[in-house]
């Protein structure tokens, strides 16, 4: 006989942890279970590419969202190291890698995003690292203790954060990326150039418009070969080339969307009683009036809170501007708005040369996004209001 649970949360990340908290605020009785393929309690990933990696002596519990005692105190069952392997949506039952099955009344799918791996000759060599989990960060920390020279692949936020962390661990860093300029998706050309100068001032070698053709070595990578034919000797290589939603669990069900699990602004799927939140959720953004997936901390948190409340009987819409932060050396970045759009005008407040500014992005005189470096909370809130107002017209 399958165990019966009121609220089954599949995925052991921030979105599920916040959903559990929110459900408990609204329903003190219903049984809640979290199923996580990771052995750790839900934790914060942002430090993994920042202080956790730079300092190298953090414990997993330092980044738990709730400590172990919280689960017992709030009567939330946590099944770690177990995967959900199958779903029977009509029978409201999930099957697990342990062989057990669980019946549920309400289901949350918060399985996050999975790493994209580079598949070129030599991809199976030792010394190539990716970063998503605590064990990944521990492996990177250990490898960087003996390495002198690292090639980081990827000019987006993970690549930039890895390059920053390794430089602060005193490694020689080469950053290889396909685009013309750094963080092309989020930054205007002027901001990219300024950031490139900052990275060069830290003696990081930037190699733009470059793609990896091959990794070479005898068991362990010792050379990165670029498509240009250039060869880069290395001790280790770290890749941050993106993530994608892993839809294996919902394959061939009505929950399988083109870019994640489709949900409305209440984070409900088309299947009654089934919700989705966080990196996997392809949600209806009521502000920009389009479907989107956001792979960032604040969205996972906000989605979890709203989905949890709605699972427990509330009817709350998720209406937030996409928001994201990143720390690169001493530069504290914050981003607000829709970065799928491209600006035809960028207005600056403050000075790039002083490492503190606000860049407002406009299209046809309508603000849709902004980049902040080293700015105060009140300023960010004020610009959010500007964007909300512009988008409501």
Question: Where on the chain is the footprint of ligand FAD (CB under 6 A)?
Answer: 10-16, 35-38, 45-46, 48-49, 83-84, 110-113, 131-132, 158, 249, 278-279, 295-298, 300, 324-326
Given the complex with ligand FAD, which of 8 and 383 has the nearer CB atom? 8
Given the complex with ligand FAD, which of 35 and 232 has the nearer CB atom? 35
**Nearest CA to 153 among 173, 181, 124, 125?**
173
Retrieve residue 228's tokens: 């240009």
Given the complex with ligand FAD, which of 122 and 262 has the nearer CB atom? 262
How close are the terminal C-alpha atoms of the chain, in Å? Answer: 55
Given the complex with ligand FAD, which of 266 and 325 has the nearer CB atom? 325
DSSP per residue, 33-87: EEEESSSSPSB-SGGGGTHHHHH----GGGGBSS-HHHHHHTTEEEEET--EEEE
Query: Least Å distance between CB 249 and ligand FAD?
Result: 5
Query: Least Å distance between CB 229 and ligand FAD?
Result: 32
d(C-alpha 53, C-alpha 198), whole Å: 21
Q: Are 100 and 3 in contact (CB under 8 A)?
A: yes
Query: Least Å distance between CB 227 and ligand FAD?
Result: 27
Given the complex with ligand FAD, which of 135 and 233 has the nearer CB atom? 135
Query: Least Å distance between CB 131 and ligand FAD?
Result: 5
Query: Least Å distance between CB 376 and ligand FAD?
Result: 19
Query: Least Å distance between CB 112 and ligand FAD?
Result: 2
Q: What distance lies between CA 59 and its chain's CA centroid?
A: 21
Query: Least Å distance between CB 56 and ligand FAD?
Result: 15
Query: Least Å distance between CB 345 and ligand FAD?
Result: 26
Which residue matches tokens 């099957």? 95
d(C-alpha 27, C-alpha 45), whole Å: 28
Given the complex with ligand FAD, which of 36 and 188 has the nearer CB atom? 36
Query: Least Å distance between CB 316 and ligand FAD?
Result: 18
Given the complex with ligand FAD, which of 15 and 210 has the nearer CB atom? 15
Residue 352 CB partners (closer than 8 Å, separation 6+)? 190, 191, 194
d(C-alpha 188, C-alpha 370), whole Å: 10
Q: What share of the chain is helix, strand, coil (3-state, %, to 5)?
A: 30, 35, 40
d(C-alpha 325, C-alpha 186), whole Å: 12
Per-residue H/E/C for 219-273? CECCEEEECCCCEEECCEEEECCCEEECCHHHCCCCCCECCEEEECCCCECCCCC
Given the complex with ligand FAD, which of 109 and 221 has the nearer CB atom? 109
Given the complex with ligand FAD, which of 142 and 227 has the nearer CB atom? 142
d(C-alpha 247, C-alpha 234), whole Å: 35
**Nearest CA to 269 among 108, 30, 36, 114?**
108
């Amino acid at each position: 006989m399958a165990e019966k649970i009121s609220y089954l949360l599949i995925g052991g990340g921030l979105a599920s942890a916040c959903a559990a908290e929110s459900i408990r605020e609204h329903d003190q009785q219903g049984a809640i279970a979290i199923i996580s393929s990771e052995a750790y309690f839900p934790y914060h990933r942002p430090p993994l590419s920042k202080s956790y990696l730079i300092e190298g002596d953090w414990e997993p519990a330092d980044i738990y969202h709730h400590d172990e005692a919280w689960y017992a105190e709030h009567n939330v069952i946590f099944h770690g190291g177990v995967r959900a392997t199958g779903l029977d949506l009509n029978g409201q039952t999930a099957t697990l890698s342990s062989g057990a099955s669980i019946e549920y009344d309400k289901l949350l799918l918060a399985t996050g995003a999975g790493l994209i791996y580079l598949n070129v000759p030599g991809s199976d060599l030792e010394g190539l690292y990716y970063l998503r989990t605590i064990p990944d960060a521990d492996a990177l920390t250990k490898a960087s203790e003996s390495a002198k020279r690292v090639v980081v692949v990827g000019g987006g936020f993970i690549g930039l954060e890895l390059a920053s962390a390794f430089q602060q661990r005193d490694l020689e860093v080469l950053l290889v990326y396909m685009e013309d300029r750094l963080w092309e998706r989020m930054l205007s050309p002027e901001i990219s150039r300024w950031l490139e100068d900052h990275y060069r001032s830290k003696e990081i070698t930037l190699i733009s418009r470059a793609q990896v053709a091959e990794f070479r070595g005898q068991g362990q990578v010792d050379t990165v070969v670029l498509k240009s034919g250039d060869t880069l000797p290395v001790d280790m290589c770290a890749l941050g080339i993106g993530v994608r939603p892993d839809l294996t669990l919902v394959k061939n069900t009505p929950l399988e969307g083109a870019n994640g699990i489709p949900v409305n602004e209440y984070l409900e799927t088309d299947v009654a009683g089934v919700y989705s939140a966080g990196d996997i959720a392809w949600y209806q953004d009521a502000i920009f009036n389009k479907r989107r997936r956001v792979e960032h901390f604040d969205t996972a948190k906000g989605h979890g809170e709203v989905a949890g409340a709605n699972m427990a009987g509330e009817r709350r819409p998720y209406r937030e501007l996409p928001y994201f932060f990143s720390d690169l050396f001493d530069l504290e970045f914050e981003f607000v708005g829709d970065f799928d759009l491209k600006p035809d005008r960028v207005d600056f407040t403050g000075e790039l040369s002083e490492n503190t500014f606000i860049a407002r992005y406009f299209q046809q005189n309508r603000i849709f996004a902004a980049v902040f470096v080293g700015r105060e909370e009140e300023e960010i809130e004020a610009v959010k209001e500007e964007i909300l107002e512009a988008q409501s017209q």
